[in-house]
Amino acid sequence: MKPKTVDRIATGVIVTFALAIVAILVGLLGFIIFRGIGHISWDFLTSKPQNLRAGGGIGPQLFNSIYLLILTLIITIPLGWGAGIYMAEYAKPGRITNMIRLVVEVLSSFPSIVIGLFGLLVLVNTFGFGFSLLSGALALAVFNLPLMVRTTEQAFRSVPKAQKEAGLALGLSKWKIITSILLPVALPAMITGTILAAGRIFGEAAALMFTAGMSSPPLDFTNWNPFSERSPLNPMRPAETLAVHIWKVNSEQLKPDAAEIAAGASAVLVIMVLLFNLFARWFGRFVYRRMTAAKRMD
């Protein structure tokens, strides 16, 4: 068989597989959104859920998901980015560094239910945080740190060595080289890792059932004092997220319209993930352009 024929066949097979993957993804997202979009309304997004009667919404669960995402990223981004920069630029090759990488790889393969049980034993019971947003955020931070560390380290290692050597030739300090030369180039990949971690936060349920809880107390959205018991910003209160709510509604089947509520909540969850991805990519490009412009001015 001629090389050109083999090349065309291989190209056709690869393109077919790629289109099949895209079709499966579009079909899955389209089915979820089409099935639940009819149940979404302003009242559904803002009202409280009903326990036994039909109707109700997902207002507290939607707020809890967004608030938990913010808390988790506040914890995860400094630790993940800092550890990744250390592994890429400061850690010396050796057994200890290899052991750290092995631990990170093993931790990234842990099932979420194991992280949830760890959070239940250590965070909820031993440290006394109870079923709370803080326990859930710390558990998800443990769950997402390996991904953040790996993507950050790989992003810094992918920067051409010539740029780093040019900074050394100019007499710049190591920290100045990291912040002014390496970080602007590595930032898009770091943003991508953050987006992947955030998607896991939105969709996680198993770990949160054992740490954040499966109920939400009555909240007073006029009280924004984080130390108040009924404040929505109180990090020590139980918080049922949207993913946990979907699982709970489907498993209990106590509501007459449980299927419709689960379908609407699933569509909201998918739309939230898509919107967050679009916003994060725009924000990453915006920060990259600003850092690049500031670098040129210097």
Report the run of H or E that residue 103 belongs to, with start and end. helix 95-108
More confident residue, 236 or 283: 236
β-bridge mates for residue 56, sequence order: 49
pLDDT confidence bin for 296, thresholds 50/70/90: low
- For residues 108 and 147, the answer to whether their CB atoms sit within 8 Å is yes
Give the residue-averaged pLDDT of 121-142.
91
pLDDT confidence bin for 16, thresholds 50/70/90: very high
| Averaged pLDDT of the chain | 84
Give the residue-averaged pLDDT of 191-215.
84
Share of the chain above pLDDT 90, in %: 12
Which token pair is 139?
A: 């558990």
pLDDT confidence bin for 182, thresholds 50/70/90: confident
**Confidence check: pLDDT of 233 > 80:** yes
Distance CA 119, CA 210 (A): 7
pLDDT tens for residues 89-128? 888 887 888 888 888 878 777 888 888 898 999 999 999 8
Using DSSP's 3-state secondary structure scheme, residue 24 falls into helix
pLDDT tens for residues 22-80? 999 899 888 888 888 888 888 888 888 877 777 778 888 889 999 999 999 999 999 98
Using DSSP's 3-state secondary structure scheme, residue 130 falls into coil
- For residues 135 and 129, the answer to whether their CB atoms sit within 8 Å is yes
Give the residue-averaged pLDDT of 175-196.
82
